[in-house]
Amino acid sequence: MSTHLAAISPGKGQRFEVRSRPTPKPGPGELLVAVKSVAINPADGLMRDQGLFIPSYPTVIGFDIAGLVLEVGDDVPTTGATVDGLSFQPGVTRVAAYSASYWKSCDPDYGAFQERCLVPWQHAVPLPDDGMSWNYAATLPVAVQVLFSVWDALGILRVGEGSSASSPALPVSASASTSTSVGTIHGGAREKKNQKREAILIWGASSSVGTMGVQGARLLREDSNSPFAAVYATAGPANERYVRSLGADRVFDYRDPHVAATIVSAAREDGLVIRRCFLATGQLAPCQAVLQAFLGDDDDDEYGEKSKAEVASAPIVPANAKAVDGVETIFVHPSTDKETRLSQFRYWMGTWLRSHLACGIIRPSPEPTVVGKGLGFINAGLDMVLQGVSCTKLVVEVEE
């Protein structure tokens, strides 16, 4: 039996140990991926230190993967026979993938932090033929998953869809995005077009999931079917220019003690309301304060609802979080139902991300920082991410 190296989690609160373990064979609908780079997420650190989501040990964890397809199981598309031509060729197809470890009770065969990993094909996206590096590719999966989990939680339709979020939507092309009928902001006076009366707020916009949130929100702003006329974001002053380059119309300093009032004032100046917020990282309370300020603005009748406000949170919502009347807080995650989850990832990765990468409309963000080469650097990466990083995604290079 062939073997490979893995960063093994031996027990709750214990540092990972690099050991050899058996290399599995892919089952039906699965890929065996040679892992080239992995990205580090805050949840990985919580899983190592607190045992979050882990029912038994030893195991292998991790979510973000970039690598080469080595083998495929039965029922995996290999000839481009799907409607959109998606296929996975052993030894040829380079992918970014989201591990299925969480849904497999942390079965070590499915964790990202090892040289060989099993992945459902629906969780993977073939990389474009433009030489995207493994490190950049590894930054994508979790960021895209969180983006769409947020949009689903907030009831936001996919770009290009006017009535349902259940069928695939094509990307907004660069030319179409500049000509869509979108409300514009001019010195406080806003032209009302296509009922675009909302700004969407991305809190923690310089984080990995936050930067993808800004890119996704930009596409909503450019879509004539969405109610969003502007993208508001919070970030530190050092990252303001970068966040604007991704599509934010206004960027506010989250460290300003009056930031919530400043955001409310800006929206009123622009003639907009804020009813939906994506909390990528940071504190819940100021998000709630912003949304609460607009609960009395009863101008949502045209959308069929009145003063509904929601915060979709990527971080786990603390048990002691204060409830605010009229503002719902939702912790986002993919479905636990297998068929629903595979369908979600099939669209998120194989349709949306694949087409938008090919068109250059979406790019990996933020810039990756390489912690080191080899699985032995996973612990250091987890230590760094738990201490906090800004406007970068930590990656570890696993294989050449």
Determine the pLDDT at residue 390.
94
Instruction: Give the mean model confidence (pLDDT) for residues 199-218.
Output: 98
> What average pLDDT does range 59-75 have in this prediction?
98
Q: What is the 3-state secondary structure (H, E, C) of 277-328?
A: EEECCCCHHHHHHHHHCCCCCCCCHHHCCCCCEEEEECCCCCCCCCCECCEE
Output the CA–CA distances (angstroms, integers) from residue 391 to 238, 239, 365, in the order listed. Answer: 9, 7, 8
Categorize the per-residue pLDDT at 195 as very low, low, confident or very high, splitting at 50, 70 and 90: confident
pLDDT for the residue numbered 169 = 46
**Burial of 33 (C-beta count, 10 Å sphere; 0-12/13-18/19+):** buried
Q: What pLDDT, on a 0 to 100 scale, did the predictor assign at position 185? A: 42
Query: What does the pLDDT read at residue 131?
Result: 84
pTM (predicted TM-score): 0.90
Q: What percentage of the chain carries pLDDT values higher than 90?
A: 83
Q: Does residue 375 surpass a pLDDT of 80? A: yes
- 49-58, 60-69, 190-199: least confident range: 190-199
Q: What pLDDT is attached to residue 163? A: 39
Amino acid 379: pLDDT: 98
Token match 């064979």: residue? 25
pLDDT at 159: 73
pLDDT at 77 over 80: yes
> Does pLDDT of 227 surpass 60?
yes
Tokens of 186: 């001019």
Mean pLDDT of 384-395: 97
Q: Is the dihedral of CA 305, 347, 338, 142 positive or negative?
A: negative
Per-residue pLDDT of 253-284, as tens digits, reads: 999 999 999 999 999 999 999 999 999 999 99
pLDDT at 42: 95
Comparison of pLDDT for 318 and 308, the residue scoring more: 318
- Mean pLDDT (whole number) for 135-152: 97
Helix H or strand E segment including 124: strand 124-126
What pLDDT does 303 receive?
Answer: 46
Residues 300-311 have a mean pLDDT of 65
pLDDT for 298 = 56
What is the average pLDDT value for the chain, to the nearest integer? Answer: 90
Say yes or no to pLDDT of 98 above 80: yes
Question: Both tokens of residue 351?
Answer: 């349709």
Task: Answer yes or no: is pLDDT of 300 > 70.
Answer: no
- Grouping H, G, I as helix, E, B as strand and the rest as coil, residue 55 is coil
The mean pLDDT value for 142-154 works out to 97
Q: What is the mean pLDDT of residues 202-220?
A: 98
Question: What integer pLDDT is reported at residue 308 of this predicted model?
Answer: 82
The answer to whether residues 267 and 274 touch, using CB atoms and an 8 Å cutoff, is yes
Task: Flag whether pLDDT at 180 surpasses 80.
Answer: no
